[in-house]
Structure 1
Amino acid sequence: MALSMKQMSLIVSALGFLSFLFGAIAENKKPANGTLINEKGVIICNHPSDPSVVLGYLSVAFLLLCTAAGYNSLFISYNGKSIPKSVLFKRTSFSVFFNIALITSGLALSLLLWPTITEQIHLTRNVHRNLETDCPTAKTGLLGGGAFLSLDSCLFWLVALMLADDVREDYLNEVERRYSFGRQVYTDGSSEEFDLKI
């Protein structure tokens, strides 16, 4: 079953919102630091109830799905009609928002992955021989920033989709206009068709 442009925009919106939601919750649930346990000359950092790693990876997963859906939504055919990619990129506004969407998606991915992986390392490598350690966690604010950038990238994909819709409509109208000019209709009902390179 072929999806309509409205359905694709809803999918992109839902995936982007879920990425933002999981990223924001991960930032909120991340502890400021772990609990120090001094045992036999080593420090064991205990991080009880820290769901930020799982939530961070969920945010990353939905961001990737949102990016893939947003990218594909620009180029798939709707109502059985497709247009060349080159036509889309000839429109300056589309090219600008397409590149902004790609850049913000990449930045969001970096800001979400960096603290998530760092936090996972802190949780798994929690035994320290340095007795002065303070059981650090991932840097505060990165997950939240990544979550907001994820939402921004979703909005930019939606803007690019609206611009792509305008380009599609203009292109298909131009094709139809050229076809109608290439067909001469005579008063007796007969017609003569000419081949046009479109």
Structure 2
Amino acid sequence: MGSTVRMLNSDVFTRIPSVPWIPQECYLRIEAMAFNQTTNIALSVLFLGSVSFVFGIVAENKKPPFGTPIQGKDVIICNFPDDPTVLLGTSSVVTLILAAIAGHVAVYFPYKGKYVPSNALFQNTTLLAFFIVAEGVTFLALAMLVWTTVTEGLHRSRNVHHDLTTQCPTAKTGLFGGGAFLALDAAIFWLICQMLTMNSRSDYFDEDDLIGEYGEVNCVTDVETIAIRHPTA
């Protein structure tokens, strides 16, 4: 008897004989189940959220507490150190937006080509709750990062003041760091939304959890049918 390959049916793990008339494509698809669209999207969300977090933390550490006032003729000119705070803040904003886009893809993506209507997905009240939280945390993180980045940029570009008592302030301390942590939290919430989405999709298609990957059912069914029609000795 030839070698066997481990297969999934609706209840338990079974072993189907590896025989010539079973398409090799089925074996390849089974071996590739661990490397799928779900994992790729999840890694994208986590990576982008982590990068946004790192950019925000570094921006917080690089931001000076205040500039150096230089006395001019009836004005104060604020001199700020040459640091990448604004660039880092902008990078944190951009990667957070990309992470949010990837998070929405994780929820709405037609995995294995099978589309699920939004109203069917959000019948899962837990998914709906986490989706709203993810949207809220993302918006709050984005607002904090954008506000701080814009404020810091304005302080540096408008550095001539007629108020002779100005202390050359910079953006409020802690906002970059707070926005960074919220960006990471948002990525985690989007990952939770993806897991709940997969559960909701499973309920929608009425598939057993052991099947795992949508689109593999036909292949498994075909293999089992062939094995029944062509029993081995």
Q: Normalising to structure 2: TM-score of the pair?
A: 0.72
Choose from 34, 54, 64 the match for 1:21.
54
Pairing partner for 2:179 from 118, 143, 146: 146
2:28 is aligned to none
The one-character-per-residue Cα deviations of 1:20-68 (angstroms, maximum 9, x if unpaired) are: 1101100110000001111222111000123111100100000100001
Output the CA distance in 1 between the equivalents of 2:66 and 2:182. 25
Q: 1:172 aligns to what?
A: 205
Q: Tell me the distance in 2 between the aligned counterparts of 1:60 and 1:129.
A: 32
Deviation at 1:72, TM superposition (A): 1.6
CA distance in 2, matches of 1:106, 1:41: 42
Counterpart CA distance in 2 for 1:152 and 1:140 is 20
Per-residue deviation at 1:174?
5.7
Amino acid at match of 1:61: V
Q: What residue number does 1:156 align with?
A: 189
Task: State the number of aligned residues.
Answer: 173
SS at match of 1:133: coil
Corresponding position of 2:138 = 105
Measured in 2, the distance between the counterparts of 1:65 and 1:53 equals: 19
Q: CA deviation at 1:108?
A: 0.2
In the alignment, structure 1 segments of 5+ residues that lack a partner are: 176-198
**After the TM superposition, which of the residue ranges 43-52 and 12-21 deviates more from structure 2?**
43-52
Quick check: 1:37 aligned with 2:64? no
2:106 corresponds to which of 44, 48, 73: 73
The residue identity in structure 1 corresponding to 2:55 is F
**What is the DSSP-based 3-state SS (H/G/I as helix, E as strand, rest coil) of the residue aligned with 2:69?**
strand
- Matching residue within 122, 130, 136 for 1:89: 122
In structure 1, the residue corresponding to 2:107 is in which secondary structure?
helix
- 1:146 partner amino acid: G
Letter in 2 for 1:82: Y
Which secondary structure does the structure 2 equivalent of 1:79 belong to?
A: helix
Q: Which amino acid in the other structure matches residue 112 of structure 1? A: L
Identity %: 49
| Cα drift, residue 98 of structure 1 | 0.3
Q: What SS is found at the alignment partner of 1:68? A: helix
- Once the 2 structures are TM-superposed, how far is the Cα of residue 12 of structure 1 from its aligned partner? 0.6
Letter in structure 1 aligned against 2:108: F
The structure 1 segments of at least 4 consecutive aligned residues displaced by more than 2 Å after TM superposition are none
1:62 aligns with 2:104: no
Please report the TM-score for the alignment, with normalisation by the length of structure 1: 0.85
